[in-house]
Amino acid sequence: MAKLLQTIFSYFKKTVRFIILGVITSLWLLQFTFVVAAPIEQGQNVVVISSPDSNSTIQGKVAIIGSADYPSFQFYIVEFSPESTAGQWHFIGDGQKPVLNDTLTTWDTTAIPDGNYTLRLRVVRLDGNYSEAFSEHLVVSNSKPLPTNTPLITATIALTKPNVTESPPPTPLAATATITPTAVRIDLPVVETATPRPTAVATVIPLPDPAQKETLIPEIKGFALDPLRDACLYGAGVMLTVFLLFGFLSTLRFFIQSFIDRRRSH
């Protein structure tokens, strides 16, 4: 009887050992699965100044419109630099939330001298790195009016002739003249028309930055982790089922063998 109990205890120890090993392995796989399936921060990688465009003339208070967003967005800052002293950036405004195709800040150009300037938009990420966009060759002209591409020349000639009575109200005409035997010469001033200048087309692709810093944090886009997580969970479940089935079969085999041995002994 003691030998039988010892044999049962030995088989029971082996079965429990396999079950514990299966449970530990399953728990380890589940932990690894949850670590891999941690959610990735969502967002857009877009840094652009939509307005004012490069090579444009501005004056007064100008709304700076654009987009500033990133998956690990921290804040953005808008600055300007005179082209005569490139590299000296002056603060205009900043923001703590992402902006998509909206006003980033307002630039009061009346506080600076007329001249050529460059705008810079910098989006700083949580890891300290940043992306930048520029609007270059901006002409600040507050001392004279902005040029127009379609100037209008209006000339009104009024010649009166004695003993002529006009009936009110007069009919508006672009030009009214009375022809007399004496030739009349009219010289109109020549007004120069401002030559239209091409404007840059806004793009949503960030401009390349030579000073861009590299980061060791990988950026994973377009990769779905749900299939991998489901596969790991399925594999862990299968392994746990196999271990439990093996322990049950071992226990069943022991009891059957013990029953057969007792019948033979009788």
For residue 245, how many other CB atoms are within 10 A of its CB? 11
For 99, other C-beta atoms within 10 Å of its C-beta total 19
Residues 25 and 103 in one domain: no
> Which tens digits make up the pLDDT trace of 30-86?
655 544 434 334 467 899 999 999 999 999 999 999 999 999 999 999 999 999 887
Residues 74 and 93 in one domain: yes
Q: What is the pLDDT of residues 121-163, one digit of tens each?
A: 999 999 999 999 999 999 999 987 766 655 544 444 444 444 5
Residue 76: the pLDDT is 97
Domain boundary among 91, 120, 140: 140
- Is 148 a domain residue? no
pLDDT digits (tens, 9 = 90+) for 180-201: 555 556 565 555 555 555 544 4
User: In angstroms, rounded to a whole number, what is the distance separating the alpha carbons of residues 142 and 62?
Assistant: 12
Specify the number of domains making up the chain: 2
Residue that has been written with the tokens 């949850």 in this structure: 34
Is 198 inside any structural domain?
no
Give residue 99's Cα distance to chain centre: 8
52 shares its domain with 101: yes
Whether 183 is covered by a domain: the verdict is no
Q: Give the whole-angstrom CA distance, residue 199 versus residue 130.
A: 27
Radius of gyration of the chain (CA): 42
Q: In terms of domains, do 27 and 85 share one?
A: no
12 and 96: one domain?
Answer: no
Distance between CA 245 and CA 243 in Å, rounded? 5
What pLDDT, in 10s, does the model give residues 1-37? 566 666 666 766 667 677 777 777 777 766 555 444 3
Higher pLDDT pick, 80 / 231? 80
Task: Say what the pLDDT of residue 51 is.
Answer: 94
Query: Is 207 inside a domain boundary?
Result: no
The last residue of a domain, from among 140, 172, 204: 140
248 in any annotated domain: yes
Q: Which domain holds residue 79?
A: 46-140
Final residue belonging to a domain, choices 105, 140, 175: 140
